[in-house]
């Protein structure tokens, strides 16, 4: 389990910044993978309640009172993390986990332009046509995608071209689109590699993008 560094004292007059329904990532002591839960409530300065995590059967033997964990979540574009301990596992009348209210919390901004190597299926609409692409790196500012330049009905993209790119983010049922502007073009082994900057990005695209970046963020 990761030890948090650079932690900040929680502002007790304001409480912790988190909304009901927020997805949280749990790093439980004695478990070598993280699991996800949903935040469902709290009593300030006393305890917090989250749902029993996904993969519950794989971790339930570690959800005993006083076992430690690190909780991480995304709020308003920043990553928050804190250390806590299990108070009690609840199985009736609801299935939930009570954890200690944090005394300190770490806040970290998701980096705007950090390159993240990924493989995301996508689709581009440009120049009155559309074609499939693979997004192979992405950040809050833009992305790079590749496509085969071997179809007569696809005009090669050039710097300055506007396009709409749709991404199929993991865990999101529908593909989500954003406008982008081509910033550079490279040819790599029969493929065109396009660097594009997002334009006038909407909340409908930004929110799942931020959650995706959070899920792959390196917290070390």
Domain boundaries, the chain: 8-109, 116-216
Task: Give the up-direction half-sphere exposure of residue 33: CA atoms within 13 A in the CB hemisphere.
Answer: 8
pLDDT per position as a tens digit, 99-146? 999 988 887 766 554 566 788 999 999 988 888 999 998 888 899 999
Q: Higher model confidence: residue 144 or residue 190?
A: 144
Model confidence band, residue 98 (pLDDT cutoffs 50, 70, 90):
very high
CATH of 8-109, one of 1.10.3720.10, 3.40.50.2300, 2.30.110.10, 1.10.10.10: 2.30.110.10
Model confidence band, residue 48 (pLDDT cutoffs 50, 70, 90):
very high
Q: What is the CATH number of domain 116-216?
A: 2.40.10.220
Residues 6+ apart with CB under 8 A from 115: 137, 139
Phi, psi angle pair for 109, to nearest 5°: -75, 140
Model confidence band, residue 15 (pLDDT cutoffs 50, 70, 90):
low
What average pLDDT is seen over the chain?
A: 84
Asked if 109 contacts 78 with a C-beta cutoff of 8 angstroms, the reply is yes
Specify the DSSP class assigned to residue 56.
Answer: H
């Amino acid at each position: 389990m990761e030890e948090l560094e650079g932690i900040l004292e929680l502002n007790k007059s304001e409480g912790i910044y988190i909304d009901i329904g927020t997805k949280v990532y749990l790093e439980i002591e004695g478990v070598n993978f993280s699991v996800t839960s949903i935040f469902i409530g709290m009593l300030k300065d006393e305890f917090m309640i989250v749902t029993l995590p996904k993969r519950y059967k794989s971790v339930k033997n570690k959800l005993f009172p006083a076992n430690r964990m690190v909780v991480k979540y995304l709020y308003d574009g920043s990553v928050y993390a804190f250390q806590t301990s299990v108070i009690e596992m609840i199985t009736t009348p609801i299935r939930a986990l009570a954890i200690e209210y944090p005394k300190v919390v770490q806040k970290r901004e998701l980096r705007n332009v950090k390159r993240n190597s990924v493989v995301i299926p996508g689709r581009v609409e440009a120049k009155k046509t559309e074609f499939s692409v693979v997004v192979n790196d992405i950040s809050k500012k833009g992305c790079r995608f590749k496509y085969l330049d071997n179809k007569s009905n696809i005009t090669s993209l050039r710097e300055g071209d506007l396009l709409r790119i749709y991404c199929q983010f993991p865990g999101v049922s529908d593909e989500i689109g954003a406008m982008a502007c081509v910033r550079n073009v490279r040819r790599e082994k029969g493929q065109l590699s396009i660097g594009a900057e997002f334009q006038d990005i909407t909340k409908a695209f930004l929110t799942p993008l931020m959650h995706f970046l959070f899920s792959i963020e390196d917290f070390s």
